[in-house]
Each structure stands twice: as structure tokens, then as C-alpha cells.
């Protein structure tokens, strides 16, 4: 993380849990997705947490599209690409564990 704060997410479902972390990108060009400061990302997460917990997701695509729809901007300036990515990766790891698969197997099949 080059001495900068990094986002970390832990998702739990039943007996399974998974952790993911995502640092801010090193370079941020004019056309890159927006990155939130970790404190702001945490605030955003708290605001969407009830919506995430109240839904059942059928697939990785369903989960990712849901996050993207909550953001509702082209450059991810509402939720931040880093928050969307850390939640997506934690979800993928959680689903892989729950399906008794390696992460690459889960990703390959989803």
C-alpha cells in the first residue's frame, strides 16, 4: 500500500468468511475510475450496507451489477472504484469458499 491506508472488507455467510484488501492506485489519470479516501469509503459502505444485507445474490455478476447500480456513475465517483472492488473481491472469495473451490476456479466459472 506504499504507506497509504488500504481498504479491507470481510464478508460472512453462515460458517464462511472472506477478507479482501484493495490499495489506492499509484497513478490516477483523467480517465480512471474514482478512488475514495478510506474514511469516506467506510461512510459510503455504512450507507449501502442495509441494501446489501437485505438482498440475495444469485451470482458474482448479480452482486457486481448491484454495486455498480448503487453507484450509478460512469467513473464510480459515488461509491468509489476501490470500495466496489474490495467488496466484489471479498464476495468472490466468500463464494469460492462456500462452494469449496479455489478462487481461480470460481472466477473461471462465473
Taking only the tens place, the pLDDT of each residue in 24-50 is 766 566 667 889 999 999 999 999 999
pLDDT digits (tens, 9 = 90+) for 54-97: 999 999 999 999 999 999 999 999 999 999 999 999 999 999 99
Please name the residue that has the C-alpha cell 467488496.
87
At residue 69, the 3 state secondary structure works out as helix
What is the pLDDT, as a whole number, of residue 50?
A: 97
Task: Classify residue 31 as left (phi > 0), alpha (psi -120 to 50) or beta.
Answer: alpha
Cα dihedral 47/52/54/60 (nearest 10): 170
What's the rounded Cα separation, in Å, for the pair 90 and 103? 10
What's the rounded Cα separation, in Å, for the pair 1 and 73? 26
What is the pLDDT, as a whole number, of residue 63?
A: 98
What is the pLDDT, as a whole number, of residue 27?
A: 55
What is the pLDDT, as a whole number, of residue 1?
A: 47
Flag whether the pTM goes above 0.85: yes
In 3D, which of 98, 102, 9 has the Cα closest to residue 59? 98
Amino acid at each position: 500500500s506504499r504507506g497509504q491506508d488500504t481498504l479491507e472488507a470481510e464478508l460472512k455467510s453462515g460458517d464462511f468468511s472472506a477478507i479482501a484488501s484493495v490499495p489506492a492506485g499509484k497513478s490516477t489519470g483523467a480517465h480512471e475510475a474514482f478512488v475514495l479516501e478510506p474514511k469516506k469509503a467506510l461512510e459510503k459502505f455504512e450507507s449501502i450496507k442495509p441494501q446489501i444485507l437485505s438482498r440475495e445474490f444469485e451470482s458474482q455478476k448479480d452482486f457486481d451489477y448491484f454495486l455498480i447500480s448503487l453507484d450509478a456513475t460512469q467513473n464510480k465517483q459515488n461509491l468509489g472504484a476501490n470500495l466496489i472492488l474490495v467488496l466484489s473481491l471479498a464476495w468472490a472469495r466468500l463464494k469460492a469458499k462456500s462452494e469449496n473451490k479455489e478462487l481461480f476456479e470460481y472466477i473461471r466459472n462465473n
